[in-house]
Structure 1
Amino acid sequence: MNPAGESGYFYERRNLDLWLEVRRSGATLILEETVRRALAEPAVVTGCFALTPTAGGLQGTWRAPGKAALLVRLTRADLSKVPLNLPSSPGLLALRAEDPLAFLKLNRAWVKSADGRSVREPLSRLTYPRLPGASAGLNAALQDRQLKHAAAALACRAALPEDLQITEGYDFGAAVTLQGARLVSVQESVSYYCGGAYPDAYTEGLILDRATGQPVPVSAIWPKLTPARQKVLHLKALNSRLDPECLEVLQGAGPSFTAHLTATGLALTPSGLPHVVAACAETATLPYATLRAEANMASVYAQSLYAR
């Protein structure tokens, strides 16, 4: 059962969930395995479990259309006893508790680049940056971000019909945009199509404490830089190059931004815009010098930026 309340399972040789339609016939649990071959086609039944309760779990048969039945015995898995094949982190432990299928797929050795500056998750093929010599807390935070996106990528691929699973899906990129003594910042970019009405995309920024890996809010550095103030400065920075339609959209939108740090300033990108105007979510970089009056110079984070 996945977090959305749907039932499914996967074969280790393929590692994509197969969805199960659940019904009962008396004491027998019927699980119909369904697959979509193409986007315009309805799902077809490719297998069916017929299971009854036993003292240890469930037993019965699995049968593909036109094939002989295979005997099946299911027992409850105790994932707390499954060894961690990645460094323990809050996200990995949460995945084990909340999304067992994703945990079983992703809890395996990942591939570190020769220079130690990135790690590739082999099933989703997502790569995420690392910092050589980083603290355990920062490494855990970066691993958890990669886990989140790898799980989303696998779920996206599984939701697609078979004819689109190679060409469509979850396109992801992440780059370290600032490495400082106290702060590390990352910008993530995602574009995806998972079989819905249209593709979508978004950008997300991270500002992390280099020692602990904990998120650092913009307000911890610039307490006067409220969301409303961010909107004013963002519009001012972009006003001359925005087309009239996007200017109108951003003026009417709520003051909601995702932020990351660069070598020259704070980069703000509008978030939460409707899909039809998502192209208006242009990033503006506010120079550190411009923001000095907004900063809390007693903060070690501000001191590390303005000592540059």
Structure 2
Amino acid sequence: MKWIITGLSMLLSVAGAQAAGCGGTQGLPDWARAGTYRGTLGPLPVSLSLDPKGESRYFYEGRSLDLFLETGRAGNQLVLQESVRRELGGDPVVTGCFTLMPAPGGLKGTWQAPGAARPQEVTLTPLDAGRLPLRLPLSPGLSALRRDDPLAFLKLNRPWVTLTGGRAVREPLSGVTYPRVPGASGALNAALQDRQLRHAADALDCRALLPEAAQKDPQEGYTLRAAITLSNARLLSLREDVDYYCGGAHPDNWTQGVILERDTGRAVPLTTLFPKLSAARQKTLYLSGVKTKVEAECLDVLREDADEFTAHLSAAGVNLTPSDLPHVVSACAETVTLPYAALRGDANLNSPLVKTLYPK
């Protein structure tokens, strides 16, 4: 998902460069360095990520949606041009101009909206996200987010909402809800939290890319449906379905199967359980099972284009869903269940994990 978001934001940046700008020119002052900053714009708290070679962005901490910035210079001043789209199909318009200089303890300067009578003062200090207290249980994904994307960490590092007797948790900013297993090991809960973190970050990124008119529309943006499909003594499996529209040419969707070891929370590759279930054999078994479920046109598409599959487990068997179909034929991506009995010859029957799928 992240590559889609990055690509769309680059398109917005290029389009914004064609609008009436902030008076800067290409290039950067010699002192400009990548970093994350936190401070105030006028009376409002903001956080800003400066990436002179890539994507710069900031957000008002009371709103938590990123605004994208183009970098430039005016003499020795750093100029950051803020652009947004008002409506679907519309071109980006410049909505603000930062002019910043290094100062003791960080950066200082101004932000001014086009046509505003006077600028607002901006004061920013470097942010060391590693020193921020954790509001969520420590997990590998949370640590990675704090290190690699401090702005997303600032938004998501807050108490989440436990639902339905501990069987689901909702992240409040994005609204993304993800299953939990009451009484599960700390490692498994960490793995589930980390998957939710990735979805929540993508959901916020997606909504930030929508035009202003669509950002509050619940029908737009990023929707996750995640459900536990198998839970036994050693394995937990889930299916994730995502529908998203981030302001590009068309909506899109994808499905992801997840198989986790219950004690450790580690992801379990399908071929660890079924070593003989190679990609080619998956396709052969999939096509055999799908031919009674789809029309002839879709069957032709699946024969030609379905070469990669995502898998989740259920009580009935291994469930395969094509994961590489072009968008225009994605509706052909039916899920096929391969019964465990039919896969006995493909399975590692000596594995304690597999034995839970073949009870005596």
Give the TM-score normalised by structure 1. 0.97
**Pairwise CA RMSD of aligned residues?**
1.5
Answer whether contact 1:2 1:101 (CA < 8 A) is retained.
Answer: no
Return the alpha-carbon distance in structure 2 between the equivalents of residues 67 and 143 of structure 1: 47
Partner of 1:88: 138
Return the alpha-carbon distance in structure 1 between the equivalents of residues 312 and 55 of structure 2: 35
Identity, % of aligned positions: 58
Answer whether contact 2:142 2:194 (CA < 8 A) is retained.
Answer: yes
Q: Secondary structure at the match of 1:48?
A: strand
Partner of 2:197: 147
For 1:117-173, what per-residue CA distance to the aligned partner results, in whole angstroms no more than 9, with x for missing partners?
Answer: 000000000100000001111101100100000000000000000111122100111
Match of 1:61 among 105, 110, 125: 110
Answer whether contact 1:192 1:200 (CA < 8 A) is retained.
Answer: yes
Return the alpha-carbon distance in structure 2 between the equivalents of residues 113 and 223 of structure 1: 38
Return the alpha-carbon distance in structure 2 between the equivalents of residues 84 and 246 of structure 1: 48
Unaligned runs of 5+ in 1: none
For 1:208-227, what per-residue CA distance to the aligned partner results, in whole angstroms no more than 9, with x for missing partners?
Answer: 00000101111111111111
Q: Does 2:324 align with 1:272?
A: yes
Answer whether contact 2:168 2:178 (CA < 8 A) is retained.
Answer: yes
Q: Does 2:151 align with 1:101?
A: yes
- TM superposition shift of 1:21: 1.8
- TM superposition shift of 1:253: 2.2
Answer whether contact 1:176 1:187 (CA < 8 A) is retained.
Answer: yes
Answer whether contact 1:221 1:296 (CA < 8 A) is retained.
Answer: yes
Return the alpha-carbon distance in structure 2 between the equivalents of residues 76 and 160 of structure 1: 29
Unaligned runs of 5+ in 2: 1-48
Return the alpha-carbon distance in structure 1 between the equivalents of residues 250 and 323 of structure 2: 18
Q: Secondary structure at the match of 2:256?
A: strand
Q: Secondary structure at the match of 2:341?
A: coil
- TM superposition shift of 1:2: 7.9
Runs of 4+ in 1 over 4 A off after TM superposition: none
Match of 2:56 among 2, 7, 12: 7
- More off after superposition, 92-101 vs 176-185: 92-101
Partner of 2:14: none
- TM superposition shift of 1:68: 2.0
Return the alpha-carbon distance in structure 2 between the equivalents of residues 255 and 229 of structure 1: 10
Return the alpha-carbon distance in structure 1 between the equivalents of residues 133 and 58 of structure 2: 20
Return the alpha-carbon distance in structure 2 between the equivalents of residues 188 and 67 of structure 1: 50
Partner of 2:183: 133
Give the TM-score normalised by structure 2. 0.83
Partner of 1:284: 336
- More off after superposition, 203-212 vs 41-50: 41-50
Q: Does 2:74 align with 1:25?
A: yes
Q: Does 2:247 align with 1:222?
A: no
Match of 1:251 among 295, 300, 303: 303
